[in-house]
Amino acid sequence: ATDAAPPVAAFSWYCRWEDLSPFFSELLEKKNIPSNPKILVPGVGNDPTILEMHKQSGYSNIFAFDYAPSAVECCQKFLGEELMQSGNIQLSVADARDLSDAYDDETFDVVLDKGTLDSIYLIGNCKERKYHNLEQSVKELARVIQPGGFVMSVTAVATDAIDQIFDKMDGVWAKVLDTREEVYVTEDGFASVNVDATLLGWVRSST
């Protein structure tokens, strides 16, 4: 008999879900997002965030994708067969720059980006190409959000560029979270200093 494959080791980019959850939950409540929203998480692999979102917070309508089939396969192994068959988390292979084959317009209540836009921005040496790829990715994430929904980005590399791209979509997005210059504290007393990155958040206009 052959030995079973070893479990996939977890690695959390920037923070664990328990550190991020208070800010995410407060935005949901303040913006009157459904209690079990349809959530899109770009980028998968061995980051346990989507697993913790389901197990710790009870979210059961989570969609996630990655450009690399190997990353999706890694995530499938990490989540386990039972959870994958439950339908609570659905994984796809897709390119963040063009999600049209994977997701329709205005499909999701929330997008949670946790370092994936940073990763996209770091690829390659051409500054113009890097910015173009990032801009296409941001616009795609914006496209799939329903009016009244929000995007939260946990970022440490492409922070200013991500913010600039959202600002260029004038009249569509209202910024509701930015921890670059001051610590954000939730009504329950959780401080953003526990997140080793900047938190940015925007709500899409409902008109």
Give the full edge-to-edge strand order of the sheet including 108-114: 89-93, 62-66, 39-42, 108-114, 145-155, 198-204, 173-178
The model's pTM is: 0.92
State percent of the chain over pLDDT 90: 82
pLDDT (tens digit per residue) in 117-141: 999 999 988 999 999 999 999 999 9
Residue 170: pLDDT over 90 = no
Return the higher-pLDDT residue of 13 and 21.
21
Split at pLDDT 50, 70, 90, the class of 10 is: confident
Q: To 10 degrees, what angle do helices 127-143 and 159-168 make?
A: 60
